[in-house]
Structure 1
Amino acid sequence: MGFVKYEQEGFVGIVTIDRPKALNALNEEVLKDLEAAFDAIDLDTTRAVVVTGAGKSFVAGADIGAMSTMTAEEGEAFGKFGNDIFRKIETFPLPVIAAINGFALGGGNELAMSCDIRICSDKAVFGQPEVGLGITPGFGGTQRLGRIIGIGMAKELVYAGYNIKADKALEVGLVNAVYSPEELMPAAMKLAGKIAKQAPIAVRNCKKAMNDGLQVDMDQAIVVEEKLFGDCFNSEDQKAGMKAFLEKGKAEFQNK
């Protein structure tokens, strides 16, 4: 994984896009390394994941040099390649936090949107500038942006192709919080740590219930929730959590 670094701190995995000289731009090699990093995460010893970028950029976009000579068929295949990996992150069993430290443009914004939670530094810049290159967003930008910030604002950003800074991203709901560059990773790790202290099976079921429920109508969605709610009662952690509550103690969850 030459372009992606993986570290483990306790129950938290840290995935870092590491191509700083190219502002962490996504080409086929970076995407393959990103997929490999997620495939290698141990679900038994990890309870949350943080994704960030090396240097001053989160991900500045897809590699324009690599895309400039593509045919229509190659472009579609590249879009599918990136979409499949981002979808894998979106549906990854564990919560994924994007710690956006700089540019999150095009594919970078699309990567951030495939994560469950986005926080950023006050140096972060977001956008889908693809129309200025003669293309559409290709890694889910036309689909996730409207679902996250509302279709009207999403269409404005995509059609006009302009960028927004951290304060505007917070205002429109693209990110949950803004920090100084020095505070960003500690804040991401603190949030990941809070998640990691909860019952892991319950957290995973919450993610699945919320993601799956958004794809169907409310009548079907509550059935999704009911099944995953019931599934929690098969776990030792549910018994430990409720026992600790009733005894006014604190549960140490075992992921079982």
Structure 2
Amino acid sequence: MNYKYKKVEKENFITVVTLNNPPANTLSSSCIAELRILLQELGRDEETRAIILTGAGRFFIAGADIKEFVSKLGDQEQGLALAEGGQALCDEIEALKKPVIAAINGPALGGGLELAMSCHFRIVSEQATVGLPELKLGLIPTFGGTQRLRKITDTATALELILTGRTLLASEAVELGIAQLAVKEAELLKTVTAIAASFVEGKSMTSVMRAVECIVQGSNESMEQGLERERKRFAELFLTADAKEGIHAFVEKRKPDFKHI
């Protein structure tokens, strides 16, 4: 499929998706719809074991396409549809069973930061900034920002950042846990690619995908529910060829030859 807003590159089972919607990589409804289709395809793609999301140019994602809101003002159903589309995209990213890493190369504001927070891991360029400025427009974050920021930080910090709408430097984002690491701009993709490779190289995707599922879905469940999911996924792996190969390779002191089945 040819994508209007995305550049897709695959190498060594790692797929880099670069959002390209000049001048600021805003998330229009059509851009969101296209990204949802692409990510669903990558979720099924056997040649993709980890996904990197980044932006073209100097922006990661500047946010939702605010110009698109103008014609929808005064219509509550239109507002609901905008929120549902953005939340669906972020929910689907979070629910992917393959590791998804945001390579935040520039400003990640509003919906851009919300999308990044739905990724499983976030690496930020030292020159990048992040923030949720929606209240300055008379709105609130609605792609999941009020909930994910609260979970990533804490209630008081989420309130402070959203109510002030202030922009954070990369170092502050790392300090608050919004990003895991800040690196020099020139090293961003190299660093993120190395991290993505470390998540999947030498491992069976049958176990990688179950681990991601247990961790991510477990964060939204009770401890009892999370442990039940963990038990079931562990038991399922006892039926896989890769678990047999991995155990025998360990006993025989050799590297496993996983087939991802």
Structure 2: 5+ residue stretches without partners: none
SS in 1 for 2:60: strand
Alignment partner, residue 120 of structure 1: 124
Match of 1:24 in 2: 25
**Alpha-carbon displacement from aligned partner over 1:99-119 (angstroms, at most 9, x marks no partner):** 000011000000001110001
Name which of 45, 49, 66 aligns with 1:43. 45
* Cα separation, 2, equivalents of 1:253 and 1:109: 36
Contact 1:12–1:196, Cα closer than 8 Å, also in 2:
no
Q: Contact 1:102–1:124 (CA<8 Å) still a contact in 2?
A: yes
Q: Distance in 2 between matches of 1:245 and 1:98?
A: 33
SS for the counterpart of 2:225 is helix
Query: How far 1:218 sits from its partner (Å)?
Result: 1.3
Conserved 8 A contact 2:95-2:217: no
CA drift of 1:196 comes to 2.0
Q: TM (normalized to structure 2)?
A: 0.94
1:210 shift after superposition: 1.1
Question: Hey, what does 1:141 align to over in structure 2?
Answer: 145
The one-character-per-residue Cα deviations of 1:2-38 (angstroms, maximum 9, x if unpaired) are 01121111211111111132x1011012112211211
Secondary structure of residue in 2 paired with 1:155: helix
Matched with 1:66 is 68
Normalized against structure 1, the TM-score is what?
A: 0.96
1:183-211 deviation line (CA, Å, top 9, x unaligned): 11011111111122122111100111112
1:193 and 1:157 map into 2 onto residues whose CA distance is 33
| Residue in 2 that maps onto 1:165 | 169
1:200-235 per-residue CA deviation (whole Å, 9 max, x = no partner) reads 111100111112222222122211111111111121
Structure 2 residue identity aligned to 1:29: S
1:70-149 mapped onto 2 (5 Å cutoff): 70=72, 71-149=75-153
**Mean alpha-carbon deviation: is it higher for 179-188 or for 71-80?**
71-80
Structure 1 counterpart of 2:33, which letter? K
SS of 2:253 mapped into structure 1: coil
- Which stretch shifts more, 213-222 or 104-113? 213-222
Correspondences of 1:161-240 after superposition (within 5 Å): 161-197=165-201, 198-240=203-245
Q: CA deviation at 1:40?
A: 2.2
CA distance in 1, matches of 2:14, 2:39: 13
Q: Secondary structure at the match of 2:68?
A: helix
Structure 1, unpaired ranges of 5+: none
For residues 258 and 150 of structure 2, what CA distance do their matches in structure 1 show?
37
**Aligned-CA RMSD value:** 1.1
Paired residues of 1:99 and 1:184 also in contact (CA < 8 A): yes
Q: 1:3 aligns with which of 2, 5, 12?
A: 5
- Structure 1 window deviating more from structure 2 (212-221 vs 179-188): it is 212-221
1:44-81 residue CA offsets vs partner (Å, 9 max, x unmatched): 22111000000111100011111133222211111101
Secondary structure at 1:222's aligned position in 2? helix
| 1:126 counterpart SS class | strand
Runs of 4+ in 1 over 3 A off after TM superposition: none
Q: In structure 2, the residue corresponding to 1:162 is in which secondary structure?
A: coil
1: CA distance between counterparts of 2:27 and 2:224? 39
Please say if 1:241 is aligned against 2:241.
no
Question: Residue 96 of structure 1 contacts residue 115 of structure 1 at CA under 8 Å; is this kept in 2?
Answer: yes
Q: Identify which range, 94-103 or 65-74, moves more after superposition.
A: 65-74
